[in-house]
Structure 1
Amino acid sequence: MKKAVLLDVSAIMYRAFYGNLNFKTKNEPTGAVYGFVNTLLSIINQFEPDYIGAAFDVKRSTLRRSEVYKEYKAKRDAAPEDLVVQIPRIEELLDCFGIERFKIDGYEADDVLGSLAEELSAKGIETYVITGDKDLSQILDKNINIALLGKGDGGGLKVLRTEEDVVEQLGVKPNMIPDLFGLIGDTSDGIPGVRKIGTKKAVPMLEKYGNLEGIYENIDSLTELPGIGKSLVTNLVEDKELAFMSRDLATIEIVPLNITEEQLKYKEDDKKLLELFKKLEFKSLIKKMGLENGAETPVINNTSKMSEGMQLGLFSFQAPVEIEEEKAFEVLVGTEIEKKLLKRIDEKAFLYLGEKGLAVSIKNKDYYLPLEDDLSKDSLKKVLTSDIKFISYGFKNILRKGYDIKNMDLDTMLAYHLLTSQTREEIEVMLKNVIEEDIEKYTEVFAKTKVLELSNEDYGKFLVKRTRGMLVAYPELLKELENNNLLEVLQEIEMPLIKVLASMENEGIKISPEYFSNYSEELELRLNQLTEKIYEIAGGEFNINSPKQLGEVLFLNLNIPPVKKTKTGFSTDSEVLEKLREQGHEIAESILEYRRLSKLKSTYVDPLPKMVDENNRLHTTFNQTGTATGRLSSSDPNLQNIPVRTEEGMKIRRGFIAETDHVLLGIDYSQIELRVLAEISQDESLIKAYAENQDLHSLTARKLFELDIDEEVTREQRDAAKTVNFSIIYGKTAFGLSQELKISPKEASEYISRYFDQYPSVKHLEKEIIMYAEEHGYVETYFKRKRIIEGINSKNRVIKSQAERMAVNTVIQGTAAEILKKVMINLYDVLKDKNDIHMLLQVHDELIFEVEKEKALEYKDLIEKIMKESIKFSKVKLEVNSSIGENWSETK
């Protein structure tokens, strides 16, 4: 039986675009095209079709459905600019494959696909429709199958072949799908449906009565069905016209196309494909498809050369990269580890730590070290403290296991992060983007098999693909770091910081489980009281955590005018509730309080005691690649997001305590980001204010509120000025500032203008930063760290404005973050061999130490001195605040 594949181009290209956002050449974005090729090749490989056709959408304004219902797809966002410019390339790609393109004025791609599928089915051709739209399942028949993108195992295709498959996916048989959407609607397409009817209520009605006609013929009997009340029946009666119109909108329209089998025959033109792939710099695809030598070549084990490659971040990929032949592999245990590896003392060793062992690659030899016994671990310790230079992806993971490493030459994870501004990406992604090699992830190789069930041979060979890949990527990364003047940032800040963070993570901070247990009970009591209060106002019980039920209570039961709607109904987000609170609705106040306390309880108060070690110490993880600005982030648990300015946040901090006979010492920089702004902008007013130890927020308030010399600044005015000061750093718009200060956008705009009148060099600095970003595509911090600024030259004003704010924020916040890093390195060097003090936490511009009680004042003076003197600015001095206490809250 002949086979055909029909492609929903929009569905495939959108998935491809968002899956490869950072792919680009020097001249154009390429991620959607690259992902489209890979998906197409995968489809061809899976189905081995005789025929292929591709369906395109047309403009919404030309759709026949839009004539029937003006709201149809009216609220869909416009396609991203970087995707739109790739559509002609995708069309060119299909032409290179010899795939016929179909587009019909007035009709959607779904209609085209349905029409093509029916004609092919009538000819007895087995047809697979590749789509992301489950609605298309309505065309399923004995020859038509629906292959859903991203719904299968591992994110692949899920093929619906039978009515039972469709019922499992949608709850109804294929012929009932239009009736289903007639009832439930489709918010993404703007199909209204019937109010308050979802799938759970629609399916039983259709199962019993078959279609809309059957339901309306039995309208008086519907209340006999479970969950169908009189109000729903009323909605059905009142929305009858909408229901039938919605069904029409959801029904695939069949258009006579009269295609021939010859039209759908496809054959790639290798010459045109090679030409296109060279333009788009798809070297791995050229190699994968054997376009230059006529034969497909394996990816990792054969020699290949890379000339100019894709532009990713700051990479240019101009030097050839050699991938060596497959290396010899050996599993090492016990003293064999040092015997074999110490012979290679003059060579670089590449390390990657897996779940149950360490992979090592040295030139033409790969090793796997299971590390299942103390002898093996001791043997490895001798190797790691030898004169071998080590390269890894995530050295900190190895240090956290209790190993010391003498020569950490380069961490490829940090190098890749500095060059691309990408955050917390996996090693497979890094290798794919640096040397264009596809390395399979664990689940792709071993599925659901647990690591402990694998042999050392199998798991070791899996891991060493990563070390071998690093060996190839290393010179490329090193070259690009040098080309972009980032080697100094890596060597002087990021690499030394690894040991600092590993030490802090291993030390951990003590908490009091008893305190958290008591506080949890206190919060539970307050939540119960709030729940009763909310039920009383609402006039009955409901699920407070359900946005849908909450929306019905607020805007239907209590008849409060809705603030805004989402695709799924009424919005009940915090912005909406804040507005309702401002309007005087008591229930909104209670719900906001309920959400706040509930989040604290579920995020911190209850989980933290379950995460401690045997000594009740909590060990967070600090991420060097967690943010694009260079700030450290914290995870498992995240201790940087505990609220600072609320009573509850301080109560949580009270549960973090010092060991017996010790205290916690907290030291933070005073207004570090504003001081950085003063130094970088060289604004005379800012510099003068700090030189004279003036209160900057009060000084700004005088300008904003146009106060006379003898007028005192009120607390409210100072708070508003403080908000404005930091808003400038974070690039907040007049609208955003107006929302925060609860003033009109016009007033906020005037505040910003007065601010720049007071500090004119700040405005000049912002313009300089934005112009630099527009010209180079990135910005630099004071210490020359770079960040890629996506969208800085976008024609979309919203995207460009966001990019401009990101650029300004990165220069200021990134510089402040690096000051903290440099200080932490200096402090670690001074304190690392001392047993009476340990650095435990870094939270933005604050450092927390645990120190013996009698040494607290001595160390306070020492640390303050180091923090003030580590960074010498030309015009601005750094100042610190410090506190000592038995718990974290007392150090604030």
Structure 2
Amino acid sequence: MKKAVLLDVSAIMYRAFYGNLNFRTKNEPTGAVYGFVNTLLSIINQLEPDYIGAAFDVKRSTLKRTEMYKEYKAQRESAPEDLVAQIPRIEELLDCFGIKKFKIDGYEADDVLGSLAKELGAKDINSYIITGDKDLSQILDGHVNIALLGKGDGGGLKILSTEEDVIEQLGVKPNMIPDLFGLIGDSSDGIPGVRKIGSKKAIPMLQKYENLEGIYENIDSLTELPGIGKSLVNNLIEDKELAFISRDLATIEIMHLDLKENELEYKKDNKKLLNLFKTLEFKSLIKKMGLENEEQEKVDPQLVQTISQPNNGMQLGLFSFQGTPEVLEEKGFDVLNGTKIKEKLNSSDVISIFLGEKGVAVSLKNKDYYIPLDNDEDKKYFQEILNSNAKFISYGFKNFLRKGYSIKNMEFDSMLAYHLLTSQTREEVEVMLKNVLDEEIEKYSEVFGKTKIHEVSLEEYGKFLVKRSRGILVAYPELMKELEVNNLYEVLKETEMPLIRVLADMEIEGIKISPEYFSKYSLELEEKLEQLTKKIYEDAQGEFNINSPKQLGEVLFINLNIPPIKKTKTGFSTDGEVLEKLAEQGYEIAKYILEFRKLSKLKSTYVDPLPKMVDQNNRLHTTFNQTGTATGRLSSSDPNLQNIPVRTEDGMKIRAGFIAKEGSVLLGIDYSQIELRVLAEISQDENLIEAYSENQDLHSLTARKIFDLREDETVTREQRDAAKTVNFSIIYGKTAFGLSQELKISPKEASEYITRYFEQYPSVKHLEKEIIMYAEEHGYVETYFKRKRIIEGINSKNRVIKSQAERMAVNTVIQGTAAEVLKKVMINLYNFLKDKNDIYMLLQVHDELIFEVEKDKVLKYKEEIEKIMRESIKFSKVKLEVNSSIGNSWAETK
């Protein structure tokens, strides 16, 4: 019997888009197309269809269902712009495969797919509908199968072919599915259903009475069913009309399409596919589908030599293994014609190394090795290799340094290079290799599933790991070329590469905490939370789960009858913004819940976990991430110390638990208003420069302007605080509305503040316009030190997206420059301190550095460090100033 595959284009392309978000050429996004091709090839390979058809959705405004119910799909967000941009390419792809496209005004893709399947069934052709929508199961019959994307083993297709398959998936027979949605609705499609009826209540009703008619005929008997109370019956009665409308909305409409014989036959055009894939830079797909035979590509001869070297049965550029890498099982194992690796190396060699959980992969020009590193002998042998004069490249050198290895020549970290080129944050090596080499490298879970690392053989793990070291070696010249073309090599060499050792040493040293202090503070928070819980229950007139947004919404807006602020698809919103507004309106319960959430978060995020993360000396070792932010600022994780509240009582209490070791103190030094000083230097605004050169209080100066104060009038603390917020809001690109929310004033007042600010500092406004124009023309912005960041959406026609991109552009130039000042200073400080054993740099948090210093040396070092921090970076018009404090705890250094 012949087979047809029917494609739900929207379902496939959405899934492909979100699975390949960062795929793009220099001219266009490509992830949805790439994922679509792979899905299509997989389907053809698995199902071997004789026919293929593809159904597209149409504009909501044309749908017949919106005439039936105006709210149908009204809540759906517009498709992301990058996805919309790829739809013509997906249509072009389908044309290359000769697949007929269906798009019928008034009808959804589901209707088209159902109609096609039924007509094919009448011709004795089996159909497989490829979709993500279980609703389509309602048309399942002997000739119609539903293939659900991503629901099968290993994320493949889950095929529903029988009534039992559907019952297992949805709990009801296929013909009951419209009735099911008549009861439960579908918030994603705007189908209302009946209030407070979900699957657990609806399925037993349908199992007993089969459809809506049966349920309403037996409405008086429903309370006999488990969990069905009078209130639900009342909802059913009141929402009866909506129930039947919902069923109609959820019912697939079968049309007569007059499908001609063999109309869905398909045949791919390899020349068209080759041209399309070349445009989209799908090199691996060209190889995978054998399209290079259509027209030989011109390849750099040097690259051919690099990727065609024999490698023990492995094709270097394609990562397809027929053999096994050398495994160095013990010290002295002879390789490379009886010579150890290190004896074969010289200063001109570039060697790629990649560290795994139980060993390291080493790739030379024409050989790959795997060293297990499961004993001291192996580790010593590997360290000897690292001591050679060869140039080493890797993806994440800091991993080696944290493990105690030293590397003589760290030449190139491709993780940092890729980050500089793409502005992407914390990408895995497989993503880098895919985007640089267009090579698919399977992740651990895809190769070994849930097999634990110690159960994987050395041979198999070696194969797995050397794919990465080989890929890093092959990607190296491409990344180098791109860095040089984009003038980013200097940023890598002068800032990011030297910073690796700085951060590694800081992480290894760690900072001491007092577990006793945190234990005591935890009990204190527990008591406060118990008191708050009692107050909340009293105001709520009963107990409920405070951490459940749904229950909280019912308490506030149904039980207490408070007018709701906003709703979401799932009910009443109880987010922080809503609670803040309720608190402003005088609802005490909202204040208690805000305080409850704040203290709960402190307790669960810091106070309880931190003592469990220390080493035997009660020292905490965070990880500093060089690729954690798009602006270039460092981030920290495990634990994240940069998110501890700044300059609040709670933040100070947490910092008080970070202490100096015996005989030492903590020295905290931070830059004074570094981002505003950067703004003054880059904008060259005369008033800003004058304020800093004369050591005026910038916030008071701004306050005088925005509040229109006379010279003899005193600036109040409240006015200065408001002006400080305005000063920093300009850097962060806050809108008048955003500023009004923060200052709790009207948007009109906030707008006036911003206008007066720019009157005071006119060159800042000019700078913002210049940055935005540059971003619109080039697609990226540059910091003072020439670091780049790609600005997505800067030329978007969507005003919201464009405004966000504009704020991002301005913020990146200022904040990114300030971040690089800190990095350069940290490198200089490291070089000054690295051979000393009476002082250690421990933490970097935004513009603040924390040192641990022997008590009797602290004043001397304080003076020397301040000098380095002032003089490391010399701007043309603005001097950098620092503040410093000494204390026994981090809190005392503020």
User: Which TM class, normalised by the smaller chain length?
Assistant: over 0.9
Query: Do the aligned partners of 2:274 and 2:294 also contact (CA within 8 Å) in 1?
Result: no
What letter matches 1:563 in structure 2? I
Does residue 1:335 correspond to 2:335, yes or no? no
- State the SS of the aligned residue for 2:262: helix
Aligned counterparts of 2:841 and 2:468: Cα–Cα separation in 1: 33
Per-residue displacement from partner, 1:379-401 (whole Å, max 9, x unpaired)? 21122122111000000001100
Cα 1:413–1:305, aligned 2, differ >3 Å: closer, same or farther? farther
Structure 2 counterpart of 1:606: 608
Residue identity matched to 1:783? F
The 1:326/1:120 distance shift into structure 2, 3 A limit, reads: farther
Cα distance change on mapping 1:775 and 1:30 into 2, 3 Å: same
The one-letter amino acid paired with 1:54 is: A
Q: Aligned partners of 2:305, 2:125: CA distance in 1, in Å?
A: 46
SS in 2 for 1:336: coil
Q: Structure 2: which amino acid aligns with 1:527?
A: L
8 A Cα contact 2:53 2:100, kept in partner: yes
Paired position in structure 2 for 1:143: 143
Conserved? CA contact 1:416–1:430, under 8 Å: yes
Single out whichever of 15-24 and 570-579 deviates more from structure 2: 15-24
- The within-5 A match list for 1:695-844 is 695-844=697-846
Superposition CA RMSD, Å = 1.9
**Please, what TM-score do these two structures have when normalized by structure 1?**
0.96
The residue identity in structure 1 corresponding to 2:398 is: K
Alpha-carbon distance in 1 for matches of 2:256, 2:611: 67
Q: Distance in 2 between matches of 1:874 and 1:230?
A: 77
3-state secondary structure, aligned to 1:629: coil
Residue of 456, 471, 477 corresponding to 1:469: 471
In 1: Cα distance, 2:205 partner to 2:538 partner: 34
Residues 355-396 of structure 1 show CA distances to partners (whole Å, capped at 9, x for unaligned) of 100000001100001011111111211221221110000000
Q: Distance in 1 between matches of 2:259 and 2:468?
A: 49
Equivalent residue number for residue 128 of structure 1: 128
Partner of 1:194: 194
What does residue 307 of structure 2 align with?
Answer: 323
Which consecutive aligned stretches of 4+ in structure 1 deviate over 4 angstroms post-superposition?
303-307, 317-322
1:239 to 1:86, Cα distance in 2 relative to 1, 3 A: same
Alpha-carbon distance in structure 2 between the residues aligned to 1:45 and 1:5:
12
1:887 matched to 2:889? The reply is yes
Deviates more, 1:391-400 or 1:222-231: 222-231
Contact 1:51 1:261 in 2 (8 A): no
Contact 1:305 1:322 in 2 (8 A): no
Kept after mapping to 1: 8 A contact 2:20/2:35: yes
Matched to 1:549, the amino acid is: Q
CA gap 1:304/1:529 in 2 versus in 1, 3 angstroms: farther
2:436 maps to: 434
Q: Distance in 2 between matches of 1:449 and 1:614?
A: 31
Residue identity matched to 1:210: E
- Tell me the SS of whatever aligns to 2:837: coil
**Shift in Å, 1:89:** 2.0
The alpha-carbon distance between structure 1 residues 643 and 225, as it changes in their structure 2 partners (threshold 3 A), is farther
Deviations 1:823-851 (A, max 9, x none): 11111111111111111111111111111
Do the aligned residues in 2 keep the contact of 1:304 with 1:321 (CA within 8 Å)?
no
1:120 counterpart letter in structure 2: L
In structure 2, give the amino acid aligned to 1:125.
I
- Name the CA distance, whole Å, in 2 between partners of 1:164 and 1:718: 70
In the other structure, the counterpart of 2:85 is 85
Distance (whole Å) between structure 2 residues aligned to residue 75 and residue 813 of structure 1: 36
User: Post-superposition shift, 1:163?
Assistant: 3.3
Name the CA distance, whole Å, in 2 between partners of 1:167 and 1:258.
32
Name the CA distance, whole Å, in 1 between partners of 2:151 and 2:298. Answer: 36
Matches within 5 A, 1:230-629: 230-293=230-293, 322-328=306-312, 329-336=325-332, 339-346=340-347, 347-629=349-631
Alignment of 1:676-691 (within 5 A): 676-691=678-693
- 2:167 matched residue in structure 1: 167
* C-alpha spacing 1:759/1:153, structure 2 compared with 1 (3 Å): farther
Structure 2 SS opposite 1:35: helix
- Looking at structure 2, the residues matched to 591 and 557 of structure 1 have their Cα atoms a distance apart, in angstroms, of 16
CA contact (8 A) 2:345 2:388 kept: no
Shift of 1:261: 4.6
Contact 1:621 1:636 in 2 (8 A): yes
- How far does residue 26 in structure 1 lie from its aligned partner after superposition? 4.2
Distance in 2 between the 1:867 and 1:83 partners?
46
Higher deviation after alignment, 439-448 or 457-466: 439-448
Read off the aligned partner of 2:235 and give its amino acid letter. Answer: N
Cα distance, 1:615 vs. partner? 1.4
1:304 touches 1:323 (CA, 8 Å); kept in 2? Answer: no
SS of residue paired to 2:883: strand
Shift of 1:149: 2.0
Distance 2:298 2:419 in 1: 24
1:305 is displaced (CA, Å) by 6.2
SS at match of 1:351: strand
**Separation in structure 1 between the aligned mates of residue 93 and residue 439 of structure 2, nearest angstrom:** 22
Cα separation, partners in 2 of 1:540 and 1:636, compared to 1, 3 Å: same
Q: CA 1:260–1:319 in structure 2 vs 1: closer, same or farther (change >3 Å)?
A: same
Summarize the Cα distance change of 1:7–1:306 in structure 2 as closer, same or farther, 3 Å threshold. farther
Residue 25 (structure 1) shift:
3.6
Partner of 2:320: none
Give the Cα–Cα distance (whole angstroms) in 2 for the partners of residues 662 and 170 of structure 1: 65
> Contact 1:306 / 1:320 at 8 angstroms: preserved in 2?
yes
Gaps of 5+ in 1: 296-302, 308-316
The equivalent of 1:21 in structure 2 is: 21
**Structure 2 counterpart of 1:312:** none
In 1, distance between residues paired with 2:163 and 2:598?
46
Structure 1 221/512 Cα, relative in aligned 2: closer, same or farther at 3 Å?
farther
* AA partner of residue 6 (structure 2): L
Q: Deviations over 1:725-745 (max 9, x none)?
A: 001000111111111111111
CA-CA distance at 1:325 after TM superposition: 4.3
After superposition, residues 646-657 of structure 1 pair within 5 angstroms as 646-657=648-659
Deviates more, 1:23-32 or 1:567-576: 23-32
Corresponding residue number in structure 2 for 1:637 = 639
Query: SS of 1:292's equivalent?
Result: helix
Instruction: Check whether the contact 1:305–1:320 (CA below 8 A) recurs between aligned residues.
Output: no
Asked if 2 retains the 8 angstrom alpha-carbon contact of 1:428 and 1:440, the reply is: yes
> Residue by residue, what CA displacement relative to the aligned partner does 1:277-309 show, whole Å, maximum 9, x if unpaired?
2333323222221123169xxxxxxx98658xx
Q: 1:657 to 1:169 in 2, by over 3 A?
A: farther
Alpha-carbon deviation of 1:633?
0.6
Q: Post-superposition shift, 1:544?
A: 1.2
Over residues 832-886 of structure 1, what are the superposed CA-to-partner deviations in whole Å (9 max), with x where a residue is unaligned? Answer: 1111111111111111111112222221111111111111111111111111111
Distance 1:523 1:225, change over 3 A: farther
Match of 1:156 in 2: 156
Amino acid at match of 1:327: N
Contact 2:341 2:385 in 1 (8 A): no
Flag the 1:3–1:247 CA change in 2: closer, same or farther, 3 A: same
Which deviates more from structure 2 when the two are superposed, residues 214-223 or residues 680-689? 214-223
Structure 1 position 469, deviation (Å): 0.9
Gap change, CA 1:239 and 1:167, over 3 Å in 2: same
Greater displacement, 428-437 / 155-164: 155-164
Residue segments in structure 2 that go unaligned for 5+ positions in a row: 313-324, 334-338
Identity rate, percent: 81
For 1:214 and 1:186, locate their aligned partners in 2 and report how far apart those are by CA, in whole Å.
22
8 Å Cα contact 1:321-1:476 kept in structure 2? no
CA shift, 1:409, in A, is 0.3
Task: Indicate the larger mover: 491-500 or 197-206.
Answer: 197-206
Cross-structure match for 1:666: 668
Residues 833 and 467 of structure 1: CA distance in aligned 2, closer, same or farther (over 3 Å): same
Paired with 1:608 and 1:158, the residues of 2 have a C-alpha distance of 43
